[in-house]
Amino acid sequence: MHGQLNSGLDVPDGRLALVLSAAKEIEPGSRAMLLLAEGLFRLDVVVAEDTLRTVLRNLSGGVIETETTLGTITGESILFGDAATYEPGRAGLGFTITTGGDAVWVRAMIATMRFAARGTVQVGAQAILLQAPPSP
Amino acid sequence: MQPIEDAKANFFGAHGNVVSGAIAPAADHGPQTLLELPGGRIVVTATVDRDNATEVTVHNGTGIALQAARDLDGTASSISLPASDDTTIPLPGTGSSVHRLHLQILPSGREFPDVVSILVTSEDGAIAGQAFVSET
């Protein structure tokens, strides 16, 4: 397991911004907590054959709205050396958490590597959380 | 379908790359590139010595020191990656045969605007890595 790391990000207008990253190496079919944002959400993953399923648990007491637009993270997948033998994959996930008049936007990149010799799959993620600007 | 809100869709993290690498360096044959981030600003190499001890080196190719959070086999700390220089991280030579390094490198102004998480897993001289690069 790669432990979760959390760091604050400087945003010019002073809004709250965080980066969370972690990874878990799991056996196919088992479920694992990948990311935890205390008081906001918990992201679990399940790997089954060639499918990655995410389970988003709302810890905020508010509303979580998943959004195709936020989950669309453009970019490349770049391989070095023998990376292809680990069958790397990637996915994106985006959602908004709204509690009262406050909202937080979350955008996560998720990536996988298969460790065939150990019969496991490593699922890693980096999520950026940004406080939404106040409603006009 | 709800209209897309530009401010929400375009917050940072909308573009991101995933870099995957895997190597099995021959003992005492010098460093081999595991991961290179787009633009070459961060390059991760690894070496294995004849005792199977592994060292991971992170080259910061920018002109500024970068702050990073680190987790090595479950022990978290903060480190600084000096400008235009290498930072070498020896992986433990004892305990489990599997070792895991997790770095979270934070953005710093225009010279390094990205949020980067790097995951490295080493087992008996076989080294796999994955990096998430979110543009801010």
Which CATH number does B12-135 carry? 2.60.40
Residue B117 touches chain A, beta carbons under 8 Å: yes
CB-nearest to A90 from B12, B18, B134 is B18
Contact residues on chain A for B121, CB-CB shorter than 8 A: 25, 115, 122
Tens of pLDDT, residue by residue over A14-65, are 889 999 999 999 999 999 999 999 999 999 999 988 899 999 999 999 999 9
**C-alpha to C-alpha distance for B39 and A94, rounded to whole angstroms:** 27
**C-alpha to C-alpha distance for A26 and A127, rounded to whole angstroms:** 20
Tens of pLDDT, residue by residue over A90-99, are 998 999 999 9
* Mutation target among A4, A10, A19 for the B interface, most CBs of B within 10 A: A19
* Mutation target among B1, B15, B20, B102 for the A interface, most CBs of A within 10 A: B20
pTM: 0.93
Where in chain B are the domains? 12-135
pLDDT tier, A136 (very low <50, low <70, confident <90, very high otherwise): low
Tens of pLDDT, residue by residue over B16-39, are 899 999 999 888 788 999 999 988
Residue B83 touches chain A, beta carbons under 8 Å: no
pLDDT tier, A129 (very low <50, low <70, confident <90, very high otherwise): very high
- Start-to-end CA distance of chain B, whole Å, equals 28
- The phi and psi torsions of A60 (rounded to 5 degrees) equal -90, -20
Tens of pLDDT, residue by residue over A100-126, are 889 999 999 999 999 999 999 999 999
Contact residues on chain B for A9, CB-CB shorter than 8 A: 106-107, 115, 136
